[in-house]
């Protein structure tokens, strides 16, 4: 018996594979075990900024570039 793979069958299998990957990724992202790791990653954009208490205060009059 020869199993013939039509274009529709290949596309259908591809859809099933992508759907299973989507469900797996969704479960991984919303897993409660990942909470602390994502909480730390949420702060990464601010990692290179100095803390607010160590920042040097600037005179507001010198920050303007308008004449």
So what's the pLDDT on residue 15? Answer: 97
Classify 32 as helix, strand or coil: helix
Instruction: Kindly report the backbone phi and psi dihedral angles of residue 65, in degrees, each rounded to the nearest multiple of 5, phi listed first.
Output: -105, 0
10-65 tens-digit pLDDT: 999 999 999 999 999 999 988 888 888 888 888 888 888 776 665 555 555 566 67
Cβ–Cβ under 8 Å, residues 24 and 30: no
So what's the pLDDT on residue 11? Answer: 94
Quote the radius of gyration of the chain (alpha carbons, Å).
26
Cβ–Cβ under 8 Å, residues 34 and 28: yes
Which residue stretches of 1-67 are H helix? 7-29, 35-42, 60-63
So what's the pLDDT on residue 21? Answer: 98
Q: What is the pTM of this model?
A: 0.52
């Amino acid at each position: 018996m020869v199993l013939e793979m039509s274009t529709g069958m290949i596309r259908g299998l591809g859809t099933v594979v992508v759907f299973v990957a989507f469900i797996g990724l969704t479960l991984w992202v919303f897993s409660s075990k990942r909470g602390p790791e994502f909480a730390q990653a949420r702060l990464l954009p601010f990692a290179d900024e100095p803390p607010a208490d160590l920042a040097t205060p600037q005179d507001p009059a010198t920050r303007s570039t308008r004449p």
